A and B are shown apart, each in its own frame.
Chain A
Amino acid sequence: MDLFFFVVFAVVAIGCGISVVLQTHPISSALSLVGVMGALAVLYLLLGAEFIAMAQVIVYAGAIMVLFIFVIMLLNSGGEVRAGRSVIVKVLGVPALAGFVVIIAWVFNSSFSELAQVHFGGFSDGSARSVGRAIFGPYLLPFEVTSVLILVAILGAVVLARKELD
């Protein structure tokens, strides 16, 4: 059952990932990215990370990507034109990346193959309670610093997007 869920959602994630990179119109890329995030949320549930899975859907798929989609809809500049890239990029680019992935996969398989098997219920510490205890315990300072970071980001976005008062 775990293998079935993993394979299905991994295939969905990879398919949507390829679609993010290959689609011409930015809206299709954005929606494929939402699909990737949804598939990853299910994989987080498989890995016992309930709070992170829900935070992924609420924050990433439900807020950040909505922001992306707003900007794309407002700018409305249409799809990208497939102009010519240089031949070197087309010939060497994709095989280089594929080689990179194969090398990493081989490294992982050889050094981590005796690792734990992932199954539902294998990690019970991913609830909101334990994440909360860790955030307000040892990781309190980074938490407060990220709040200041968000405040700075809000101020920056407001200043940048404001109409000029001439």
Chain B
Amino acid sequence: MLQGGGVPLSWVLILSAILFSLGVAGFLFRKNIITVFMSIELMLNAVNLSFVAFSYKLQQVNGHIFAFFVMVVAAAEAAVGLAIILTVFKNRSSLDIDDVSEMKN
């Protein structure tokens, strides 16, 4: 059992940065629409962790409220985004983001 010190807060923030950059990597490098969408959710989770960590530092509950609203907005966005993905699949039978490029040029 480690006594005494806890976890330095900067480590929590570094973890949030790592998860955020993993989300960016998934968003930029993957071809499946649904995986791209899941990388967005990963980024939102990393931001939530950041909010809660700073709420711990400032000893206020406002960070938790922000995290709560981020979760609510992510839920709404997931619902609409998945409905859009279903419609795109119905029309094109493909989940590749390179195939959904008819507005280019």
Chain A residues with CB under 8 Å of chain B are 1-4, 6, 10, 13-14, 17-18, 20-21, 26, 29-30, 33, 36-37, 40, 43-44, 46-49, 51-52, 55-56, 59-60, 63-64, 67-68, 71-72, 74-75, 77, 80, 83, 85, 89, 93-94, 97, 100-101, 104-105, 108-109, 112-113, 115-120, 122-123, 125-126, 130-131, 134-135, 139, 142, 146, 149-150, 152-154, 156-157, 160-161
A115→B49 contact, CB < 8 A: no
Residue on B with the closest CB to A17? B22
Docked complex: B9-41 residues within 8 A CB-CB of A: 9-15, 17-19, 21-26, 28-32, 34-35, 37-39, 41
- Please, which residues of chain A bring their CB within 8 A of the CB of B89? 75, 77
| Chain A residues whose CB sits within 8 angstroms of the CB of B15 once the complex forms | 10, 13-14, 43
**Pair B14/A59 contact, Cβ less than 8 Å:** no
CA distance A130 to B13 in the complex (A): 24
Distance, CA A113 to CA B34, complexed state (A)? 38
Which among A123, A134, A150 has the highest number of chain B CB atoms within 10 Å?
A123
B82 at the interface (CB under 8 A from A): yes
Contact partner, B82, options A20, A48, A67, Cβ 8 Å: A67
Interface SS of chain A: helix
Q: Give chain B's interface secondary structure class.
A: helix
**CB contact between B65 and one of A43, A47, A113, A131 (< 8 Å): that residue:** A131
Check if B83 sits within 8 Å of A160, measured CB to CB: yes
Q: Report how far A1 CA is from B56 CA in the complex, Å.
A: 18
Closest to A101 in B: B21
Task: Decide if A36 touches B42 in the complex (CB within 8 Å).
Answer: yes
**Cα distance, A130 to B63, chains bound together (Å):** 12
Select which of B5, B41, B57, B76 is within 8 A of A115 by beta carbon. B57
Residue of A nearest to B14 (CB): A105
Q: Which of B21, B45, B62, B94 is within 8 Å of A97, CB to CB? A: B21
Residue B7 at the chain A interface, CB threshold 8 Å: yes
